[in-house]
Amino acid sequence: MSLVVDSLVKRFGNFPALKGVSLTIPQGAFVALLGPSGSGKTTLLRILGGLEYPDDGSVRFADLNWLAVPARERRAGFVFQHYALFKHLTVAQNIGFGLSVRPRRERPSRGEILRRVEDLLALVQLDGLGKRYPSQLSGGQRQRVALARALAIEPRMLLLDEPFGALDAKVRKELRGWLRALHERLGLTSVFVTHDQEEAFALADLVAVMNGGRLEQYDTPEVLKRSPQSAFVADFLGLAPPPRAVESAQPVLPLRMRA
Amino acid sequence: MARRFQRPTEDSRSTRALLIGLTLGFIGLFLLLPLVVVFSAALQEGWVGAWSALAEPDAVSAIELTLLVAAIAVPLNVVFGVSAAWAVAKFDFRGKNLLVSLIDLPFSVSPVIAGLIYVLIFGMQGWLGPTLRDYDIKIIFALPGLVLATLFVTFPFVARELIPLMVDQGRGEEEAAVSLGASGFSTFLRVTLPNIKWGLLYGVLLCNARAMGEFGAVSVVSGHIRGLTNTMPLHVEVLYNDYQYVGAFAVASLLALLALVTLTLKTFLEWRFADEIAAVHRH
């Protein structure tokens, strides 16, 4: 049941977002898509979730032509960068949404939905907050509601777009460990997008370093650290020797910004 | 004693008095005074006089016709407005900016021209006139013409309320709904609609006020057949030209009352749902 991505190409107008990306995500792996903004990592994630379609290339999941499966039938649990929680629904209604919109014959009973929502609230450690509205929660809590909502549909994979991007450093560290533990418990194939290499290395089994629509290197964190394959990877991971100090009266500006 | 400093943006006392006075004077002279005149003229023969003017068969038929036209035009514009706003806010396509400008067209075209367009298309001497006559379909000087003209002038109201709101809200929640397995229709019903409902209500209100109050476009296509194709604004004119002042002003009061109710509801919505309506700023 691995996810096989083959030669994906995607353009937005004149901007090439993906220029032929291929990688295989083994079942149950936790994979990070790492790269600067504009590297194509979010586009790749959105293609996996069915929210974008590539111009060329293929994606196979198990025996399925994954691109031919419409987004609503993929059961790919997608966690959005800004969570995209339904503002007008309570936390419990948000989490139960995916179950309550199922066609009548597949839909669990009202009581069953409530029970599953309670279980998920416990899983994401938000017991008792089901009646609140998203606006009444902290950033970290919203993030966990978004995750619970994605897990409610019994997803076949978990796709997370900058899962900690909007959180402060302390909450980010806490949630990171918690998410890794959850991944180990559920064993779901998970892909997450990040521009933070520390985060990628701390969480992922495999890291795909992307740049300018191409896959630069796809390896375990250990291999990446030990032998970066390109100047970009070395530089992005901060492994390159620091640039020769310039002696001048001018203050030395950082050569690149890492958000 | 603390000295009072003048803030940099603060004007002198006399400038302030002048500006406030000018504004109040203008509002009083051009808005409040006419309103008082309308109501007092309607009541110059007492409540009974005003009431009997409204109960007169032609007046009743004008009121009914106005309500009927609005009842058809407003829902149609809701459907159109939501579709247009949806298309503009949620999809990218060629000619999107052109579409947005076209939606505003009825605001810049004189209503008389709007009416004339339909006469030229559907009238007896018009484009489709002979064909329509063969099938015995009456559009001009009949209800369909009134509805068409009203639709034209109220075209932008709902769409213009919703477009900025929906653009501002983005597609995130809809994408989330779809990825959770919701169909297009249940996404609309359970996610999009709740997010736009107050803006929609606000647009409907404005659309309705205009639909009931429209004179120019409707006047061209109506033919002014008393008791048949006269809406309230047209009936007011007919009565006035017949020197039936009490009747004219009684019907006019009813229209003014409608405007006041609309204004009250609009203010209430603005006060209650300020954040959601903040995206709307052109009225």
Among residues B21, B28, B56, which one has the least CA distance to residue B230?
B56
* Nearest chain A alpha carbon to B176: A84
Given the DSSP bridges, would you call strands A64-65 and A56-61 parallel, antiparallel or unpaired?
A: antiparallel
Counting other chains too, the contacts that B207-210 makes at CB distance below 8 Å and 24 or more residues apart are B207/B73, B207/B74, B207/B77, B207/B78, B207/B81, B207/B154, B207/B157, B207/B158, B208/B70, B208/B74, B208/B262, B209/B258, B209/B259, B209/B262, B210/B153, B210/B154, B210/B157
Low-confidence ranges of chain A (pLDDT < 70): 240-259
Q: Return the pLDDT at A258.
A: 39
Q: Which of B90, B166, B169, B180 to mutate to test the interface with A (most CBs of A within 10 A)?
A: B180
Q: Is the pTM of this model over 0.80?
A: no
Contact residues for A249 (Cβ-Cβ < 8 A; gap 6+): none
Residues of chain B with C-beta less than 8 angstroms from the C-beta of A116: none
Contact assignment for A97 to B182 by CB distance below 8 Å: yes
> What's the confidence (pLDDT) of residue A249?
42
Name every residue whose Cβ is closer than 8 Å to that of residue A158 and which is 6 or more positions away in sequence.
Answer: A76, A77, A79, A150, A151, A183, A188, A189, A190, A191
Q: What pLDDT is stored for residue B274 in this prediction?
A: 67
Instruction: Please give, rounded to a whole number of angstroms, the shortest distance from the CA of B273 to a CA of chain A.
Output: 14
- Calculate the CA B24 to chain-centre distance: 26
Q: Can you give the pLDDT at residue A259?
A: 39
Q: How many residues are present in chain B?
A: 283
pLDDT at B282: 38
* pLDDT number for residue B279: 43
Using the Cβ of A105 and the Cβ atoms of chain B, whether some distance falls under 8 Å is answered with no
B171 close to B236: Cβ distance less than 8 angstroms = no
Least Cα distance to A2 among A96, A87, A75, A66 occurs for A66
- Cα–Cα dist B113/B109, whole Å: 7
Residue B245's CB is within 10 A of a number of other CB atoms, namely 16
Structure tokens at A247: 């002696």
* Least CB–CB distance from A71: residue in B179, B186, B190: B179
CA atoms within 13 A on the CB side of B267: 6
pLDDT average per 10 residues of sequence, chain B (283 residues): 67 86 93 90 86 88 92 94 89 86 88 88 80 80 89 91 88 93 92 89 90 89 82 90 88 89 84 60 39
